[in-house]
Amino acid sequence: MGSNPIGRERIAEHPWGRAFEEHRNASGSTETLVVKRALIAALLVGLASTARAEEPKGFAEFPWGTTAEALRENLLTKRCQSYIDYSRAGGSSHCGKYLVEGLSVAHLRFDFEPENSLAGYYMVVARHSYPTLRTLTLQKFGQPTVRSSLFGFSEQLFWDWDGAQAVLIQRCGYETSCLEVKTLPLIRKSEQEAARQRRDLRQSF
């Protein structure tokens, strides 16, 4: 990825950039060079951090849209200790005991939407492996869009891109942590399913 020059208009759009402009206008010609450099350095760090958060393009070397058959032949049968494949019936593919960069993934699920087209995945690890999963996820996705904490003991990190979303949850089960990545087709499918469930709840006799 080539580096783009940071123009005045981009600086002005950033919160630190607005602070820089306000400080410059208030101080006029008496503004010190030290303060200028400090504000610009902080802005550049913020912009660089944002630029590192790249939208996921698939799983490992398998891009979004990979067929279930290709995934089964090249991953499920070769890299999983065990697997169950429901993709032929319109369901998901499940991989047991998958290893990635030294991390043992207890359960890895691949989701297809539309049918037979890879559109997301969900992985579960033992909670003692959360620090490793967190480090690998941050290296891959960059800094999250939102950070939150559930009751102060379960960290949750969210990423939101134009064509995908991801969530990393420290405690998604009694002794597990999980990471889920969804592309727009899966997101829309989930929203439609949630709307259908709401309609069903409102139904009466």
For position 203, what pLDDT does the model report? 79
Residue 114 preceded by cis peptide, ω within 30: yes
For position 99, what pLDDT does the model report? 94
| Cα distances (angstroms) measured from residue 152 to each of 17, 124, 148, 156, 170 | 32, 21, 9, 10, 11
For position 61, what pLDDT does the model report? 96
For position 53, what pLDDT does the model report? 66
State which residues of the chain have pLDDT below 50. Answer: 1-52
For position 190, what pLDDT does the model report? 86
Phi, psi (rounded to 5 degrees) for 192: -65, -40
d(CA 203, CA 205): 7
For position 35, what pLDDT does the model report? 35
For position 58, what pLDDT does the model report? 96
d(CA 15, CA 1): 24
For position 25, what pLDDT does the model report? 47
Q: Where are the alpha helices (DSSP H) in the chain?
A: 8-13, 15-27, 33-52, 68-71, 77-79, 130-141, 184-202
pTM beyond 0.75: no
For position 150, what pLDDT does the model report? 72
Query: 181: buried, middle or exposed (CB in 10 Å: 19+, 13-18, 0-12)?
Result: buried
For position 117, what pLDDT does the model report? 94
For the chain, give me the number of helices (H) and strands (E)?
A: 7, 10
